[in-house]
Amino acid sequence: MKKKTTLFGIAFISGLLSACGGGGGSSDSPSSVTTPPNVPNDSISPELSDEFVPFKDQPVLDKIRDTINGNTSNDTDYNVALGHMIAEPFGDYPYGRTARLVQIYNLGINSIKYPNVLCAEVTKTDAVKTLKLKDNKDNCVILDKTYRKGSSITQTVNGNTITLTFNNVRYGSNVDFNLKDDYLISGTIIHSKTKDASGASETYKIDQLEFQRVAENSTAPASGAGFNEDSKEYLQVLNYSYSLTDDYGNGSNGSRTLKSQGTIIGQPYLADFRYKFDFNTTTPFTMEEIALNNFEHLPVEGTLKITDHYNQVIEVKQNQPKSLKATVYFNGSEITDLLWSTIIGDKK
């Protein structure tokens, strides 16, 4: 299927999406590759919070792209997905955030906590709260977000676990008055967080969550891996799990462990196709304790494996304990080293 040759934004999540990374700019693809240039500058969301850590290392993307040049089995959508594939899972590391997923989760929690009682209502039944617009309202501004008629958020609390279910919830700030599209969220996020004298843990789990861009007041089209022209941009997270576990140990011999895995389906902005890839921390990323329940910024070990629907594999490995760089492999061949600072930014 022939692809458009205009610029494309890449849909980034983390986990991440985890999911939730970012990307740098790009030059034009070689003529032997029929996919559009890899230009993952534009995010699927109209805004990004401080929880979002962008990945920006274009030379890595260029080296992988150069490696696959001439391989005609990849001349459909592979280049377009490169920035997404590298960045998505790393948006999580190592702060305990899943980038856009955390942002969406917080959107739901805060909207229920601080509803606009003039146009919305929260109903309560035992441990369940549901936010929706009042019957006589077509839209409602809650905090700085505009909700539209028919959208709802349900929050269920069970001990240390909170489940949020979104149904066609519009996502995006009201500040950008030029934005004529809606970003709609549907699906469920399950969040658990515990802490005691022996350690702490935080997890996010998603069976399915989709996030797509449609024309203002349009209905979200059918979900899934099949392309739909009514969706201007699309991101779906499947079978996603993320965990950050702290074991305080005795004295200063504790450890922090990060695991993340899932499936991402993406449709870049104005593209005419969707792509799919799986990711998994085949070796969890482990950080050592410094002192008093504080942990090293760099892992002593860890491997992230990303497999696309052509069964090609990108791996990012921490080969040396606490190294400033991880090593990137493509189909078993070493491509380059990748500074952790380009993945996780300057936050700890």
The model's pLDDT over 17-29, given as tens digits with 9 standing for 90+, comes to 222 222 222 333 3
Tokens 């890839």 locate to 277
> What confidence tier does 239 reach under pLDDT thresholds 50, 70, 90?
very high
- Name which residue leads in pLDDT, 178 or 103: 103
The mean pLDDT value for 11-17 works out to: 27
Q: Are strands 152-158 and 145-148 parallel, antiparallel or unpaired?
A: unpaired
Q: State how many domains the chain has.
A: 1
- 172 within domain boundaries: yes
Answer yes or no: is 10 within a domain: no
Structure tokens at 76: 């459909």
Q: State the pLDDT at residue 246.
A: 92
Region 33-49: mean pLDDT is 45
In 134-159, which positions are buried (b, 16+ CB within 10 angstroms) versus exposed (e)?
eeebeebebeebebbeebebbbbeee
When mean pLDDT is compared across 97-101, 219-223, 252-256, 330-334, the lowest value belongs to: 97-101
pTM, rounded to two decimals: 0.81
| 237-243 mean pLDDT | 90
342 or 229: which leads in pLDDT: 229
Per-residue confidence (pLDDT) for residue 162, from 0 to 100? 98
pLDDT at 54: 54
Structural Rg of the chain based on CA atoms? 20
Question: Is residue 117 one of the residues assigned to a domain?
Answer: yes
From 7-16, 82-91, 251-260, 268-277, the region with the lowest mean pLDDT: 7-16
pLDDT at position 80: 45
- Please report how the helices 58-68 and 78-90 are oriented relative to each other, as an axis angle in degrees rounded to 10: 140
Give percent of the chain above pLDDT 70: 69
Nearest to 306 by CA among 298, 297, 293, 316: 316
**Residue 125 domain-assigned (yes or no):** yes
Let me know: does 99 contact 35? Beta carbons within 8 Å: no
How far apart are alpha carbons 16 and 126 in whole angstroms? 32
Q: Is residue 6 part of a domain?
A: no
Per-residue pLDDT tens for 187-212? 999 999 999 999 999 999 999 999 88
Helix (H, G, I), strand (E, B) or coil at 63: helix
Closest CA to 265 of 240, 295, 296, 244: 240
Domain holding 24, by residue range, is 15-344
> Pick the residue with more confidence: 60 or 151?
151
182 close to 148: Cβ distance less than 8 angstroms: yes
| Number of Cβ within a 10 Å radius of residue 127 | 12
Residue 86 lies in a domain: yes
Q: Is residue 303 part of a domain?
A: yes
Which of 33-42, 53-62, 95-104 shows the lowest mean pLDDT across its residues?
33-42
Give the pLDDT mean for 299-328: 88
CA distance 183 to 93: 26
At 254-298, the pLDDT tens digits run 999 988 888 888 777 777 777 788 888 999 999 998 888 788 888
Residue 64 in any domain: the answer is yes
User: Coil, helix or strand for 177?
Assistant: coil
Confidence of residue 5 (pLDDT cuts 50, 70, 90): very low
* β pairing state of 152-158 and 128-133: antiparallel
